[in-house]
Structure 1
Amino acid sequence: MFYVALRILLYDKVRSFITLLGVVFAVSLIFAQMGIYLGLMEMSSVIIDNTPGDIWVTSKNSKNFDFSQPFPEYIYQQVLSVEGVQRAEKLIIAWSMIKQKEGGMEQIEMVGYDPDTGVGGPWKMKVGDSRDVKNGNFAIVDESAMRRLGNIKVGDYREVFFRRLQIVGISEGIRSFTTAPIIFTSYKLVQGLLGWIGPDNTVFVIAKVSPGNSVNSIVQKLKQRLKGVDVYSRDDFSRKTRLYWTIETGVGFAFLLTILISFLIGMLIIGQTIYNSTVEHIKEFGTLKAMGANNTDIYRIIFSQALINALFGYLISLVITLISVPIYEATDLVMVVRWWTNLIVLGLALVMCLSSAFVSIRKIKRIDPAILFRG
């Protein structure tokens, strides 16, 4: 039956080609929307996911990573005093303004970390070392900021809140979901530079759990001990940040709607093509019935046509997607392709194509072999 379905598709090459293009368009759009969404979500929690630490202590009712508020620095000592906490580090995330070399201001997101431990700082350097921000007005800029801040080189100076900072390193792979350039510098410098934070406040405390202790059990201990702050495991805080951008900003709904529309378009294209093909070959199907074939045999032919379109459309779309990844990166977008997303898209393609075949099946049910003897 698979061979018969293939022969039917090859009989009208133009129509089959147009159908395949429709499937490729729909599946490629689904790939793109899923990939870009996952890329945006990875960007939204990139520092959380790449910072060595098991537990994040944040301000009370903090909605996500980028908009956490300061809390008293003594919380850091309380975290260290809890049994099962191996070590802890303070981290500041704050919004600021940087003066461009040619004039004008640009909003940036500053990350203040301890250069001695590197916790919360850049984990992948293109030029320089993450410890170079120590003991001075020094900063590290991620290479993704070049589009917004210009071609910054090591040794250049930029003014942040009337303080001249020297660029001592270029990091890579640290893009912000908010599109604001990320600037890394020392914890003490940010604390003194941004007066609204206060000299005795921090924004995050990141704790490492001692071997042999459960992260969840230490989270519960900290929740009981600490007042006025929230405590999350790293995975929970990452998930909370991603859900905030997905749900509260409408980003998730927008991507879901586009995927749904692509799915429906693919169903309409394939359904229309297979239905027209079924109508055109109605006498041939009637002949098969007259020769002893039952409805199930005919159904297999129709489903085989849908399956062929789904598999070929999916494979072509996957190749197009893989080729497109560096193109998206060149435009400061990140498209993520994972093996499990490939399986999900394959499943959607199969459901899309096989579901569209049901319209033709209803037509086949009513075929009377006597159609062969009618004029």
Structure 2
Amino acid sequence: MLRTAWKFLFYDKANSLGALLGIVVSTFLIGQQISVFNFITDGIGKIVTTAPGYIWVLDNKTQNINDLHPLDVRIQYQIASLPGVQKVYPVYITNGYVQYEGGDKESVKLIGVEPPDYAGAPAGFFAGTHQDLLPDGGISVDLYEERVFPITDLGATFEINGKRAYVAAQTKGVRGFARAFSYTTIDRARWFANGSPYEATVFLVKAAPGASPAQVRDAINDNAFGVRAWLEGELRRTSVIFYLKHSSIVLAIGTMVVFAFISGIAIVGLTLYSSAIDHLRDYGTMKAIGATNGYIRKLIYTQALLFGVPGFAIGQLLIRLFRTAMERQGVLVSFTLEFQLAFFGLICLIALLGAAFASRRVIRLEPAAVFRF
């Protein structure tokens, strides 16, 4: 059957190329849009994923890591007294405005962490160290945030909220969805924001060895007033869902994915249908000599898969080129193996649905009709 299906494709190159193009276009459009979606959702929860291994404690009204409210720092002592808690780290997250000499103001999210542990900051920097943040004005910048930080060289100076700052460390790819991230010490973040030294916006809780993070979370929620504790995955997921509910991201990207899916089915279906019409005599002859409808259907499905697989491969190559180009702009996206397998299954489904549409004309063909051609 495979050899027969290949012959049909080889002797009908125009229709075969058309169907192949439909698969390639569908693969690329779906992969491109999902890449953008993954980048957006990754940026929404980037603060959380950059500092894994903690229980996150926010005010009890917050459903989103990017919308925080001040907390009294004395709450950390109440949390630290609870069973299962090894240590509590205050973090101060606030918004600011960056301005270079002669430039426009750009927004930035300042993340102030407490020395000497620097909990809440990346485990390491692309250039510089955590200790480099200690001198007055020292902050980190991301190499890909050239729109906000036109000069990212170590030692470059600028202003944040009208106060002098300089590049003390560099990150690479640590970017938020709406704002650039800059890490500094907690006292300096308060200073830039004119905040109170008795305030924090987040407490990071390290569970004691052997303690269940879920049980520690529940203990905090049961005993600490005015705050809510989250596991890392819960907070990231809730933040992403909050943004998706209150924006048109899902509608915009989902519409394009559905369009690519339907377009792929239409292109493949119409192309195979045209090919089936052109080969009615051949299919009729096969049915006249004993081929069943099941065999004919499998033959057409095999043809669909024969250009579905290479079409997916070519589409993946184009997606790789797209992602490489975007990585130069700091848009870093990766796909898991599970997603790739599901994506391949989706493309095969497009090819098979198109083949199902085309096979209907051949299935209705009577074997005796071949003598009327």
Give the TM-score band, short-chain normalised. over 0.9
Q: What is the CA–CA distance in structure 1 between the aligned matches of 2:345 and 2:67, rounded to whole Å?
A: 37
Q: Deviations over 1:294-333 (max 9, x none)?
A: 1111111111111112111111112222233221112333
1:227 and 2:222 equivalent? no
1:135: Cα distance to partner? 4.6
The aligned residue for residue 102 of structure 2 is: 102
Q: Deviations over 1:206-247 (max 9, x none)?
A: 001111111111111100011111210111011111212223
1:170: Cα distance to partner? 1.4
1:115: Cα distance to partner? 3.1
Residues 96 and 160 in structure 1, CA contact (< 8 A), matched pair in contact too: yes
1:113 and 2:113 equivalent? yes
The aligned residue for residue 50 of structure 1 is: 50
Q: What is the CA–CA distance in structure 1 between the aligned matches of 2:106 and 2:50, rounded to whole Å?
A: 26
Q: Secondary structure at the match of 2:315?
A: helix
Letter in 1 for 2:262: L
Letter in 1 for 2:38: L
Normalised to the residue count of structure 1, the TM-score between the two structures is: 0.95
The aligned residue for residue 86 of structure 1 is: 86
Alignment of 1:264-275 (within 5 A): 264-275=262-273
Letter in 1 for 2:84: G
Q: What is the CA–CA distance in structure 1 between the aligned matches of 2:360 and 2:369, rounded to whole Å?
A: 17
After superposition, the Cα gap between the structure-2 partners of 1:255 and 1:172, relative to the gap in structure 1 and judged at 3 Å, is same
Q: Secondary structure at the match of 1:102?
A: coil
Alignment of 1:165-314 (within 5 A): 165-178=165-178, 180-195=179-194, 197-314=195-312
The aligned residue for residue 144 of structure 1 is: 144
Structure 1 segments (4+ residues) deviating >4 Å: none
Q: Secondary structure at the match of 2:97?
A: strand
Q: What is the CA–CA distance in structure 2 between the aligned matches of 1:78 and 1:53, rounded to whole Å?
A: 21
Letter in 1 for 2:192: L
After superposition, the Cα gap between the structure-2 partners of 1:151 and 1:166, relative to the gap in structure 1 and judged at 3 Å, is closer
Q: What is the CA–CA distance in structure 2 between the aligned matches of 1:308 and 1:218, rounded to whole Å?
A: 54
Q: What is the CA–CA distance in structure 1 between the aligned matches of 2:8 and 2:26, rounded to whole Å?
A: 23
1:347 to 326, 345, 348: 345
Letter in 2 for 1:176: G
Letter in 2 for 1:322: R
Q: What is the CA–CA distance in structure 2 between the aligned matches of 1:259 and 1:52, rounded to whole Å?
A: 32
Q: Name structure 1 gaps, 5 residues minimum.
A: none
Letter in 1 for 2:76: Y
Alignment of 1:31-70 (within 5 A): 31-70=31-70
Letter in 1 for 2:238: K
Residues 52 and 232 in structure 2, CA contact (< 8 A), matched pair in contact too: no
Q: Secondary structure at the match of 1:118?
A: coil
1:288: Cα distance to partner? 0.7
Q: What is the CA–CA distance in structure 1 between the aligned matches of 2:249 and 2:123, rounded to whole Å?
A: 28
Q: What is the CA–CA distance in structure 1 between the aligned matches of 2:104 and 2:147, rounded to whole Å?
A: 15
Residues 35 and 335 in structure 1, CA contact (< 8 A), matched pair in contact too: yes
Q: Which moved more, 1:236-245 or 1:44-53?
A: 44-53
**What is the total number of aligned residue pairs between the two structures?**
373
1:348: Cα distance to partner? 0.7
Q: Secondary structure at the match of 1:123?
A: coil
Q: What is the CA–CA distance in structure 2 between the aligned matches of 1:279 and 1:215, rounded to whole Å?
A: 64
Q: Deviations over 1:33-57 (max 9, x none)?
A: 1122112212221221121432100
Letter in 2 for 1:193: F
Q: What is the CA–CA distance in structure 2 between the aligned matches of 1:115 and 1:170, rounded to whole Å?
A: 18
After superposition, the Cα gap between the structure-2 partners of 1:148 and 1:136, relative to the gap in structure 1 and judged at 3 Å, is closer
After superposition, the Cα gap between the structure-2 partners of 1:363 and 1:18, relative to the gap in structure 1 and judged at 3 Å, is closer
Q: What is the CA–CA distance in structure 2 between the aligned matches of 1:274 and 1:84, rounded to whole Å?
A: 64
1:192: Cα distance to partner? 2.8
Q: Secondary structure at the match of 2:146?
A: helix
Q: What is the CA–CA distance in structure 1 between the aligned matches of 2:360 and 2:171, rounded to whole Å?
A: 60
Normalised to the residue count of structure 2, the TM-score between the two structures is: 0.96
Q: Deviations over 1:151-183 (max 9, x none)?
A: 2321222111222112212122201111x2222
Letter in 2 for 1:308: L
Residues 115 and 133 in structure 1, CA contact (< 8 A), matched pair in contact too: no
Q: Deviations over 1:91-146 (max 9, x none)?
A: 11111112222233111111101131121123331221122112522211111222
The aligned residue for residue 364 of structure 2 is: 366
Q: What is the CA–CA distance in structure 2 between the aligned matches of 1:130 and 1:171, rounded to whole Å?
A: 11
Q: What is the CA–CA distance in structure 1 between the aligned matches of 2:286 and 2:52, rounded to whole Å?
A: 67
Q: Which moved more, 1:204-213 or 1:122-131?
A: 122-131
Q: Secondary structure at the match of 2:126?
A: strand
1:79: Cα distance to partner? 1.2
